[in-house]
Amino acid sequence: MPIHLVTGGAGFIGSTLAEALLARGDTVRILDDFSSGRRANVDGLHGRLEVLEGTVTDEAVVRRAMQGVDVVFHHAAIPSVVLSVEKPQATMFANVQGTTVLLDVARSAGVRRVIFAASAAAYGNTQIVPTPETAPLSPLSPYAVSKVAGEFLMRSFSDLYGLETISLRYFNVFGARQDPKSQYAAAVPNFVSAALRNEAATVFGDGDQTRDFCHVDNVVAANLLAAGTPKKLTGQIVNIACGERVSLNELLRIIAEATGTSVPPRYDAPRPGDVRDSFASIDVARELLGYEPTVRVREGLRKTIAALRSAQGRS
């Protein structure tokens, strides 16, 4: 039976995707070095699952992971803008060299298709909103540059070797497995965690900056559509988002309402590399993949709050 490989499968998005693949009866192999992924994310997974510990920059490890694989979902990365500003060399090595190794091994191993977790950070502070995939790129951080490089690698390996590839540009993904305790935690887990502790939430900037928050269930659905489409994939780039524009101040108000608490903002200086506004056009995803977001922002926040509240009760 063909195997689906999820690199970075112990991470927030990767483990949620692996869980969905297992739930439909697929055989799944996870490759993760657990540098940012968490063992707790894979310990509860059930089904035909194999977990390999190792890094995508290690060709020998990747060759073992790639045996018998049909589709690769490539999520392994150093996944933080802030961390990339602090450690640009490590970010570029993991994200660019790791992607190069993965693609090179995939094409010689007979893999059919590689689906790449790209990022809306590629657009930077674009003035075109909602933003289509054709908008000029202006990456503001080493993380964003590394993701743009990954997109070009996907296209070139498709052009040169006939490997089917696609880059899914994720917009501000959130959901239950995000780690609110990380110093690099994203806005949603930070704000929800603050609300559940009845504390002030740190907002970097004035809070009027906007994001297109996308619940992880939508991202999983997009990956499954990309894996299953009968259309030939040749390095296409596709925005994956909700197509909703929400400011951080509005996000705080929604979370306060959903938790029944007060979440006063504590404003701090903007962080280097952060974009001001992010809002996607998802027309290409609809046309190419038949994608439609099914979990809107408010519903996704309710699900995320319930999960984090439950986790808090167990800790």
Positions in the chain whose pLDDT score sits under 50? 315
Per-residue tokens: 155: 């296209």
CA dihedral 134, 136, 142, 144 (to 10 degrees): -30
Determine the Cα–Cα distance for residues 73 and 64; give it in Å rounded to an integer: 16
Residue type at 86 in one-letter notation? E
At residue 60, what are phi and psi to the nearest 5 degrees? -65, -40
Q: Where are the domains of the chain?
A: 3-174+213-241+281-289, 187-209+244-280+300-314
Whether the model clears a pTM of 0.75, i.e. scores above it, the answer is: yes
Q: Are 224 and 240 in contact (CB under 8 A)?
A: no
Percent of the chain with pLDDT over 70: 97
Residue type at 138 in one-letter notation? S
At residue 159, what are phi and psi to the nearest 5 degrees? -65, -45
Q: What's the full length of the chain, in residues?
A: 315
> What's the pLDDT score for residue 314?
54
Percent of the chain with pLDDT over 90: 87
Beta bridge partners of 73: 6, 115
pLDDT in tens, 173-188: 999 998 777 655 688 9
Architecture of domain 3-174+213-241+281-289: 3-Layer(aba) Sandwich (3.40)
> What's the pLDDT score for residue 115?
99
Contacts of 265 (CB under 8 A, 6+ apart): 200, 201, 202, 203, 207, 249, 252
> What's the pLDDT score for residue 186?
83
Determine the Cα–Cα distance for residues 285 and 307; give it in Å rounded to an integer: 28
Say which CATH superfamily domain 187-209+244-280+300-314 falls into: UDP-galactose 4-epimerase, domain 1 (3.90.25.10)
SS3 sequence of the chain: CCEEEEECCCCHHHHHHHHHHHHCCCEEEEEECCCCCCHHHHHCCCCCEEEEECCCCCHHHHHHHHCCEEEEEECCCCCCHHHHHHCHHHHHHHHHHHHHHHHHHHHHHCCCEEEEEEEHHHHCCCCCCCECCCCCCCCCCHHHHHHHHHHHHHHHHHHHHCCEEEEEEECCEECCCCCCCCCCCCHHHHHHHHHHCCCCEEEECCCCCEECCEEHHHHHHHHHHHHHCCCCCEEEEEEECCCCCEEHHHHHHHHHHHHCCCCCEEEECCCCCCCCECCECCHHHHHHHCCCCCCCHHHHHHHHHHHHHHHHHHC
> What's the pLDDT score for residue 185?
61
Residue type at 100 in one-letter notation? T
